[in-house]
């Protein structure tokens, strides 16, 4: 004996019903088979909706009923040859006439009781099962239709009646002993009480019908045929990478279903577990997929977690007050009050201080709960021993489930670590001593992010997703995008990192794509994007609330630098090529670093100094390993190096500067480089990272530029440099006379920093610097005689982009 149950989508229309015929036909040839069917998808909802309309005095229900009638008649016409159709057409019309009569009654009486709800809802399963039975007969498949109400008995708790197992078992066995048919078709969901009135087993209860029959008949197995290939590691509607679970224990499956895995109705497994009857979850639309096997014992799946489930629309009720501490009976009264009003408690937490009890309930019960609890504790509230009940809405519960979690430390640590890193605030936590379920209450808006992040952690060791938001698509930005495009496949394969550029923006336009902007034609896409609005860009980034998000600033804009704090607050990491934030007033720099730390976000800005040279990372390594920076000597301007390495008095100084700008080494305004300002900012950042509290005005700058060059526009600057050529020639000649070279040097020692043009002798480390090279000498307690030297190309779009790229990847490792 086997029991097969087909859910609503599996019997949604004639096409699907033909599919289930093939499944049943192959399965039922050798073994006696019971087929339990649901109403066509959506029909139960529609019937109940008609009842509600009627109760509200709205006669639109008759139009809705006509649609229901047409839907069922269409199935009949498609499934059966004309010769078989008429008696089923009459049946469908009769049934829907009865439904209309019931609705008319509800309309007239203005009353829609639980008992009537059950009557009304029962027609969905009654009609679908009859149509399927008649279809099978018309196809020559012998079968017998039996009304579940005659063999499944319940109490009279309408809409979620309790099964009388003893009586039902007797009736089921009597029926099956007196019947010889190989294939029995039964409507799911419905039953009857002692008085013969129709009852239902709760929404989704057709699964339960299959279980009741399976248990009573000692079936070899029960199969639940639905629209997914098994019980999945998470709700597939929220986690696109969810995978079917091959084998799962009854206990684990029950925990998952109680916690929102809708694929199986929660009470279903209880009767089957008692007799160790295996349960399969199978996909009607992909019958060859193996599906999920639910049984007593399972195999280790390599991770302690079997699945993650979630329930949305939860409210948290908190009863608090010093009057509760050490006094027995408060929780009893609280739960009694809730139970008395049929309010189901989903989760309970009480801290050992006994100062508060927190209870999770369904959203729609919250107002009622407040009313009854405040009433139950009216005296204590008046005496100020407890506070009036506090309700918080818009919450969700997620739960990690797995038998193997027991006695394995570290799982909750990982769980809450991931939630924290993704900025998901945990409102309450519950874990029973069975250690099979760890539940956390979080904000509804975070549920998708939280589920995906946890799923990735526990089920997708294969890769992590990094969601990148870029602003700035100039020289460096476009190179970065090209590098990401080129490297995506490598990173996924070798670092198990999937990088998605979710948003791109420049000063004019912005685009978003949750699946990742196509990096092959991003320029066109951006051109056609919406007008740039930084506030809206940040807003969208926050709305998307994606895990492992990083904001990448490749602009030189003070407006972008001004929003960093706002970004950290949402736990998003920042990679900045833009130097403005780190060279802003010390308090702001410090606050940003602190804010990043407080919100578990990374803040990397390696390219602020020396493009991709590992300067800030090296400095941090010194400090982290307990060393102290005593002195820094550095040549930090790629532009000035290029200029002084190429200027020999033959081509004009202005020409050489123009060349540097053309090669992309300068800041957008080259005066920032020529004035020494850019070097000042860099040495200040290094000083700050070394622990110095420096401001720009604390840095001495012996500028070599005539002040006349620094006024007006960039063109004025070039013209004025031409006029001052003699001044530059003299600078060069003075150094050359001594056999030395000109270098613009930055120094930091004893809390003081300075920048200026120096004559460098041939034996000095700085002498052999070519092209756009940068060099930094770190003197530390440990490197006090010979400095540590970091040297190499310190400017250029390609190397700067690679530094930004490295920082982006570093955010995942932090």
**Structure tokens given for 348:** 């309970």
Shortest Å, Cβ 283 to ligand ADP: 10
689 makes contact with ligand ADP (CB under 6 A): no
> Binding marks (x or -) toward ligand ADP, 732..771, rule CB under 6 A?
----------------------------------------
Q: Which is nearer to ligand ADP, 303 or 659 (CB)?
A: 303
Cβ proximity to Mg ion: between 210 and 504 the closer is: 210
Q: How far is the CB of 43 from ligand ASP (least distance, A)?
A: 7
- Interface residue with ligand ADP, options 45, 56, 64, 227 (CB under 6 A): 227
The Cα 43–Cα 12 span in angstroms is 9
Residue (205 or 529) nearer to ligand ASP, CB: 205
How are beta strands 773-780 and 629-635 bridged, if at all?
antiparallel
Query: Which residues lie closer than 8 Å to 275 by C-beta, 6 or more apart?
Result: 215, 218
DSSP string across 421-469:
HTTPPEEEEEE-TT-SEEEEEEEGGGHHHHHHHHHHHHH-TT-EEEEEE
Is 682 an active-site residue?
A: yes
Task: Identify whether the C-beta of residue 307 lies closer than 8 Å to the C-beta of residue 245.
Answer: yes
228 binds, among ligand ASP, Mg ion, ligand ADP, none (CB under 5 to 8 A by kind): ligand ADP
**Distance between CA atoms of residues 742 and 646, nearest Å:** 11
**How far is it, in rounded angstroms, from Cα 588 to Cα 586?**
5
- Mark residues 415-434: x for contact with ligand ASP by CB under 6 A, - for none: --------------------
CA distance 452 to 467: 13
Query: Which residue in the block uniquely carries the two structure tokens 């201080």?
Result: 353
Q: Under rule CB under 6 A, which residues in 35-74 are in contact with ligand ASP?
A: 38-39, 44
**Residue 205 binding target from Mg ion, ligand ASP, ligand ADP, none, CB below 5 to 8 Å by type:** ligand ASP
CB of 665 to ligand ADP, least distance (A): 55
Q: Does 610 bind Mg ion (CB under 5 A)?
A: no
Asked if 541 contacts 533 with a C-beta cutoff of 8 angstroms, the reply is no
Tokens of residue 433, six digits: 């001593």
CB of 11 to ligand ASP, least distance (A): 9
Q: Which residue is nearest to ligand ASP (CB)?
A: 206
Least separation, in Å, of the C-beta of 777 and ligand ADP?
59
Question: Residues 140-160, buried b or exposed e (16+ Cβ, 10 A)?
Answer: eeebebbbbbebbbbeeebbb
Whichever of 204 and 472 has its CB closer to ligand ASP, that residue is 204
Provide the 3-class DSSP secondary structure of residue 636. Answer: coil
Q: Which of these segments, 198-206, 568-576, 671-679, 791-799, binds ligand ASP (CB under 6 A)?
A: 198-206
Distances (CA, A) of 471 to 518, 672, 760, 795: 16, 22, 40, 20
Question: Of 27, 115, 160, 203, which one interacts with ligand ASP (CB under 6 A)?
Answer: 203
The residue range among 172-180, 204-212, 346-354, 442-450 that interacts with ligand ASP, by the rule CB under 6 A, is: 204-212
235 binds, among ligand ASP, Mg ion, ligand ADP, none (CB under 5 to 8 A by kind): ligand ADP
CB of 8 to Mg ion, least distance (A): 7
List 127, 135, 161, 188, residue binding ligand ASP (CB under 6 A): 188
Contact between residue 334 and residue 327 where contact means Cβ atoms under 8 Å apart: no
- 204 interacts with ligand ADP by CB under 6 A: yes
- Asked if 796 and 538 touch (Cβ cutoff 8 Å), the reply is no
DSSP code per residue over 724-793? THHHHHHHHHHHHHTT-EEEEEEEEETTEEEEEEEEE-TTSTTTT--TTEEEEEEEESSSSSSPEEEEEE
Q: Which residues are CB-neighbours of 523 under 8 A, at least 6 positions away?
A: 473, 478
- The answer to whether 266 contacts ligand ASP (rule: CB under 6 A) is no
- Contact flags string 4-23 toward Mg ion, x per CB under 5 A: ---x----------------
Q: Which of 265, 275, 316, 314 is nearest to 295 (CA)?
A: 275
Answer yes or no: are the C-beta atoms of 350 and 377 closer than 8 Å.
Answer: no
| 802 touching ligand ASP, by CB under 6 A | no
C-beta closer to Mg ion: residue 2 or 44: 44
Q: Give which of 300, 298, 292 is closest to 236, Cα–Cα.
A: 292
Q: Residue 448 touches which of Mg ion, ligand ASP, ligand ADP, none (CB < 5 to 8 A by kind)?
A: none
Instruction: Tell whether residue 9 is a contact of ligand ASP (CB under 6 A).
Output: no
What length is written for the chain?
814
**Residue 780: which of ligand ADP, Mg ion, ligand ASP, none does it interact with, CB under 5 to 8 A by kind?**
none
CB of 23 to ligand ASP, least distance (A): 18
Cβ nearer to ligand ADP, comparing 235 with 255: 235
Q: Indicate whether 529 belongs to the interface with Mg ion (CB under 5 A).
A: no
Q: Residue 187 or residue 204: which is nearer to Mg ion going by CB?
A: 204
**Options 1-9, 429-437, 549-557, 730-738: segment touching ligand ADP (CB under 6 A):** 1-9
What span, in angstroms and rounded, lies between the C-alpha atoms of 804 and 471? 12
> Within positions 291 to 330, which residues make up the interface with ligand ADP, using CB under 6 A?
307, 309
Query: What is the smallest separation between the CB atom of 229 and ligand ASP, expressed in angstroms?
Result: 19
CB of 264 to Mg ion, least distance (A): 7
Asked if 235 interacts with ligand ADP (CB under 6 A), we say yes
x-or-dash string of contact with ligand ADP, 24-43, rule CB under 6 A: --------------x-----
Among the listed residues 104, 154, 145, the one whose alpha carbon sits nearest the alpha carbon of residue 127: 145
Active-site residue, selected from the candidate residues 153, 682, 741, 791: 682
- Stretch (H or E) spanning 109: helix 82-109
Which region, judged by CB under 6 A, interacts with ligand ADP, from 123-131, 261-269, 386-394, 726-734?
261-269
The kind and range of the H/E element at 498 are strand 497-505
Both tokens of 179, joined, read 């019947």
Q: Determine the Cα–Cα distance for residues 535 and 538; give it in Å rounded to an integer.
A: 5
Q: What minimum distance in Å lies between the beta carbon of 9 and ligand ASP? A: 10
Residue 406 phi/psi, 5-degree rounding, is -55, 130
**Which of ligand ADP, Mg ion, ligand ASP, none has residue 261 at its interface (CB below 5 to 8 Å by kind)?**
ligand ADP
Q: Of the listed pieces 159-167, 199-207, 445-453, 578-586, which binds ligand ASP according to CB under 6 A?
A: 199-207
Answer yes or no whether residue 310 interacts with ligand ASP by CB under 6 A. Answer: no
Q: How far is the CB of 120 from ligand ADP (least distance, A)?
A: 19
Structure tokens at 177: 């002993």
In the region spanning residues 71 to 130, those forming contacts with ligand ASP, defined by CB under 6 A, are 124
- Closest Cα to residue 635, out of 663, 609, 599? 609
Residue with the closest Cβ to ligand ADP? 7
Q: How many residues sit in the footprint of ligand ASP (CB under 6 A)?
A: 12
3-state secondary structure 6-69: ECCHHHCCHHHHHHHHHHHHHHCCCCCEEEEECCCCCHHHHHHHHHHHHHCCCCCHHHHHHHHH
Among positions 25, 67, 87, 237, the unique one binding ligand ADP when judged by CB under 6 A: 237
Q: Which are the contacts of 419, defined by CB distance < 8 A and separation ≥ 6?
A: 426, 440, 442, 450, 453, 454
Q: Which does 266 bind (CB under 5 to 8 A by kind): ligand ASP, ligand ADP, Mg ion, none?
A: none
Binding site for Mg ion (CB under 5 A): 7, 204
Binding site for ligand ADP (CB under 6 A): 7-10, 38, 204, 226-228, 231-232, 234-237, 261-263, 307, 309
Binding site for ligand ASP (CB under 6 A): 7-8, 38-39, 44, 124, 188-189, 203-206
Active-site residue list:
682
């Amino acid at each position: 004996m086997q029991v097969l149950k087909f859910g609503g989508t599996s019997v949604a229309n004639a096409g699907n019903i033909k599919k289930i015929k093939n499944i049943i036909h192959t399965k039922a040839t050798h073994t006696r088979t019971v087929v339990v069917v649901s109403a066509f998808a959506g029909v139960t909802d529609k019937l109940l909706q008609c009842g509600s309309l009627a109760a509200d005095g709205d006669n639109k229900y008759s139009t809705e009923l006509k649609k229901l009638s047409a839907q069922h008649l269409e199935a009949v016409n498609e499934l059966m040859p004309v010769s078989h159709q008429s008696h089923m057409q009459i049946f469908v019309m009769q049934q829907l006439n009865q439904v209309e009569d019931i609705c008319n009654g509800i309309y007239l009486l203005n009353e829609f009781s639980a008992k009537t709800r059950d009557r009304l809802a029962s027609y969905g399963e009654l009609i679908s099962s009859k149509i399927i039975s008649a279809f099978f007969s018309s196809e020559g498949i012998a079968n017998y239709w039996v009304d579940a109400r005659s063999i499944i008995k319940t109490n009279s708790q309408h809409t979620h009646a309790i099964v009388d197992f003893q009586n039902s078992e007797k009736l089921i066995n009597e029926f099956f002993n007196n019947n010889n048919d190989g294939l029995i078709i039964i409507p799911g969901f419905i039953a009857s009480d002692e008085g013969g009135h129709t009852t239902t087993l709760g929404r989704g209860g057709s699964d339960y019908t299959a279980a009741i029959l399976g248990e009573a008949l000692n079936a070899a197995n029960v199969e639940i045929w639905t629209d997914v290939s098994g019980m999945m590691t998470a709700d597939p509607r929220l986690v696109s990478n969810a995978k079917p679970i091959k084998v799962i224990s009854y206990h684990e499956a029950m925990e998952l279903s109680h916690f929102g895995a809708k694929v199986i109705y929660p009470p279903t497994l209880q009767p089957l577990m008692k007799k160790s009857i295996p349960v399969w979850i199978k996909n009607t639309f992909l019958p060859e997929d193996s599906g999920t096997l639910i049984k007593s014992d399972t195999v280790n799946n390599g991770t302690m977690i079997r699945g993650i489930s979630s329930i949305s629309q939860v409210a948290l009720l908190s009863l608090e007050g010093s009057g509760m501490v050490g006094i027995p009976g408060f929780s009893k009264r609280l739960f009694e009050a809730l139970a008395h009003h049929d309010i189901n408690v989903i989760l309970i937490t009480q801290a050992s201080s006994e100062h508060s009890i927190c209870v999770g309930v369904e959203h729609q019960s919250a107002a009622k709960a407040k009313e009854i609890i405040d009433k139950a504790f009216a005296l204590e509230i008046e005496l100020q021993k407890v506070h009036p009940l506090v309700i918080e809405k818009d919450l969700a519960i997620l739960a990690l489930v797995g038998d193997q979690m027991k006695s394995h430390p570290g799982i909750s640590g990982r769980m809450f670590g991931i939630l924290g890193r993704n900025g998901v605030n945990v409102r309450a936590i519950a874990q029973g001593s069975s250690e099979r379920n760890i539940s956390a209450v979080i904000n509804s808006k975070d549920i998708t992010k939280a589920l995906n992040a946890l799923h990735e952690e526990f089920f997708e060791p294969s890769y992590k997703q990094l969601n990148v938001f870029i602003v700035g698509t100039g020289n460096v930005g476009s190179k970065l995008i090209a590098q990401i495009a080129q490297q995506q496949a490598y990173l996924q394969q070798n670092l198990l990192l999937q990088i998605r550029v979710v948003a791109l923006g420049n000063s004019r336009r912005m685009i978003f794509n949750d699946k990742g902007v196509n990096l092959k034609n991003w320029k066109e896409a951006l051109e056609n994007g919406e007008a740039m609005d930084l506030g809206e860009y940040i807003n969208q980034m926050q709305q998307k609330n994606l895990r492992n998000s990083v904001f990448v600033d490749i602009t030189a804009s003070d407006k972008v630098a001004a929003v960093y704090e706002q970004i950290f607050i949402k736990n998003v990491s920042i990679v900045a090529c833009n130097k403005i934030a780190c060279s802003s007033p010390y308090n702001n720099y410090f606050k940003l670093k602190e804010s990043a730390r407080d919100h578990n976000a990374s803040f990397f800005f390696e390219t602020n100094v020396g493009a991709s040279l590992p300067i800030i990372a090296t400095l941090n390594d010194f400090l982290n390993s307990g060393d102290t920076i005593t002195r820094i000597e550095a040549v930090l301007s790629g532009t000035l190096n290029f200029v002084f390495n190429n200027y020999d008095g033959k081509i004009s100084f202005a020409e050489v500067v123009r060349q540097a700008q053309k090669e992309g080494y300068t800041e957008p305004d080259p005066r920032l480089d020529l004035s020494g300002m850019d070097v000042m900012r860099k040495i200040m950042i290094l000083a700050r990272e070394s622990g110095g509290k420096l401001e720009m005005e604390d840095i001495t700058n012996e500028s070599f530029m005539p002040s006349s060059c620094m006024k007006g526009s960039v063109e004025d600057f070039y013209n004025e440099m031409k006029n001052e050529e003699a001044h530059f020639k003299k600078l060069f000649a003075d150094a050359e006379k001594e056999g030395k070279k000109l270098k613009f040097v930055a120094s930091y020692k004893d809390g003081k920093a300075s920048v200026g043009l120096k004559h460098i002798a041939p034996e000095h480390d700085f002498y052999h610097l070519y092209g756009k090279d940068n060099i930094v000498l770190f003197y530390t307690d440990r490197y006090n005689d010979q400095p540590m030297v970091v040297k190499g190309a310190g400017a250029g779009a390609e190397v700067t982009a690679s530094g930004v790229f490295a920082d982006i990847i570093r955010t995942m490792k932090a």
